[in-house]
Amino acid sequence: MAEMRKKFEREPKEFDERVVQIDRVTRVVKGGRRLRFRATVVIGDKKGRVGVGVAKGSAVVLAITKAVAQAKKNMITINMHETTIPHEVETVYCGARVFLKPASPGTGVIAGGAVRAVVEAAGIKDILSKMIGSSNKINNVYATLEALKSLRERPVTKKATSPIKTQPKKVKIEERKVAKEVKSKAKKETETKKTKSATKTKGKKQ
């Protein structure tokens, strides 16, 4: 009995699979219209890898299996900063605009259906997002994927973005020369004043 149970037990899946959308698609042939199904699936290992697949099939199950196989071929690795993303990102894909913003720990995933599927499959736990423009789920999924692709490794700070002001060596050398000349002139003037005051005091004593 134990051996039989082991056979029927399902093995743990390598990736987290999320079905975003299933559509009915008709194909016109000589005999009439042929009904098919289109599935949009997002998969990820929740450790920074995520992929998207879109496929068609005569049945829903067949379309989903094809989409999962396609998503495995299109897997990408994203850059994460702890439980969120390193910096803000905004991308546009076929009229769909997606804006992603990092959030502090404990905020959670504040996102819509299409964006949430991609973000959670990638393993991001704290993020803020907004979808602007198109309401097409497929376009929003691909826009989110493009946004995650463009993430940098380290969080961008103001110090890193602000340009470092550097002066050439020649300018620094000239400034030093001018400072030395000013100091020497000041010393000469003080010495002349001292000599004049000394001569005046000698003349008065005589």
* Residue 179 belongs to a domain: no
The predicted-structure confidence for 85-99, as pLDDT tens digits, reads as follows 999 989 999 889 999
* Residue 201 belongs to a domain: no
- H/E stretch holding 89 reads strand 89-93
Q: Which domain holds residue 47?
A: 10-158
The predicted-structure confidence for 46-70, as pLDDT tens digits, reads as follows 888 999 999 999 999 999 999 999 9
Q: What are phi and psi of 111, to 5 degrees?
A: -160, 160
Tracing tokens 């009439």 back to the chain, one arrives at: 32
Taking a C-beta distance cutoff of 8 angstroms, is the pair 151, 89 a contact?
yes
pLDDT of residue 164: 41
- Domain harbouring 18, CATH code: 3.30.230.10
Angstrom distance (rounded) from CA 174 to CA 172? 5
* Residue 78 belongs to a domain: yes
* Residue 180 belongs to a domain: no
* Residue 96 belongs to a domain: yes
* Residue 104 belongs to a domain: yes
**Residue 80 predicted with pLDDT over 70:** yes
pLDDT of residue 203: 57
Q: What is the dihedral of CA 110, 112, 115, 121, to 10 degrees?
A: 70
The predicted-structure confidence for 99-158, as pLDDT tens digits, reads as follows 999 999 999 999 988 899 999 999 999 999 999 888 889 999 999 999 999 888 754 455
> Of residues 183 and 205, which shows the higher confidence score?
183
Angstrom distance (rounded) from CA 54 to CA 19? 10
* Residue 2 belongs to a domain: no
pLDDT of residue 7: 52
* Residue 192 belongs to a domain: no
Number of separate domains in the chain: 1
Furthest-apart CA atoms within the chain: distance in Å: 135
Taking a C-beta distance cutoff of 8 angstroms, is the pair 158, 131 a contact?
no
Share of the chain above pLDDT 70, in %: 75
Q: How far is CA 91 from CA 98, 113, 124, 144, in A?
A: 6, 17, 18, 8
Q: How far is CA 146 from CA 56, 106, 108, 191, 197, in A?
A: 23, 25, 21, 73, 81
pLDDT of residue 165: 45
- CA 172 vs. chain centroid, Å, equals 40
